[in-house]
Amino acid sequence: MTGAAQVADALEQLGGFFALAAPPARGTDAVHWVEVLSETALEARFAAVRAALASSTGLPVEEVDPRVAVSATQVGLASRLWSVALAGAVLHSWVPDLSSAALVASPVHRGAVPLGVADPDRGMPIASTTEAAAVIGRTVTEGSLAALDEACARVGRTAGRVLLSNAASSLVGAGRVLASRRPEAADRTDELVRLLLAGPALSAGGSFAEDGTFLRSGCCLFYRLPEHGLCPDCVLAPAHPELVTEAH
């Protein structure tokens, strides 16, 4: 029987945001998802990300818009959820339980356990892309991701439009990375991404044009960082093409 431990071993080979600890040792390096999204933990994470952005841009930390740090934090956590969910479903026809009740992660930014599951054998076998979209929709879109967005809006005081379009853009980005690393699964990945994006919780976050390009409905605010410019999928990009950059 496929389990998260076996899937995690395979996902680790994809690197980056696909890594999944199954299961990590609980303690200072792995706490429940609810604890990761607590006010105290999020405020500390926002501060750490803000300091990292200041260091990378040369700005004094007080000149980095706090909302940019909130946006960057949410994008990082959302990208991990999407990457594991997509790769598990597309490559292994099995998705670990990624609901809020099942997830653990480091309570700090860049901790030892970016994302993990409490029970390595709890998950769902997937027989079709439609079924995968339904399972991921329940566990991620309406579960752990919804909890993340709500916490970032409440603690970080960031507009819902920013968070919603971040979630949609992160989904598309995770799909593109997976397709680039496993080209034989590109069509299935694209189909799953589009099904998820069409769901009621994400559909207002952005859409695909006829030529296949994705345009988000809000801005991630990263343009407020020096020399960053606009992301290619930014809602502001069509009106300001001269500001578009590949930097993310």
pLDDT given at position 241 = 65
Asked if the model's pLDDT at residue 18 lies above 80, the reply is: yes
Distance CA 109, CA 136 (A): 25
Evaluate if residue 27 carries a pLDDT over 80: no
In the chain, the amino acid numbered 233 is D
Structure tokens at 227: 């020399």
Query: Do the beta carbons of residue 99 and residue 139 sit within 8 Å?
Result: yes
Residues with Cβ within 8 Å of residue 15, at least 6 apart in sequence: none
Q: Which two tokens stand for residue 123?
A: 């998950």
Contact in structure between 203 and 197 (CB atoms under 8 Å) = yes
Q: Is the pLDDT of residue 161 over 80?
A: yes
Looking at residue 185, the DSSP 8-state letter turns out to be G
Q: What is the mean pLDDT of residues 219-231?
A: 81
**pLDDT for 141-160, tens place per residue?**
999 999 999 999 999 989 99
pLDDT tens for 113-140 read: 899 998 878 899 999 999 999 999 999 9
Q: Higher-confidence residue: 215 or 74?
A: 74
Residues 132, 126: contact at Cβ < 8 Å?
Answer: yes
pLDDT value for 10: 85
Predicted confidence (pLDDT) at residue 1 exceeds the cutoff of 50: no
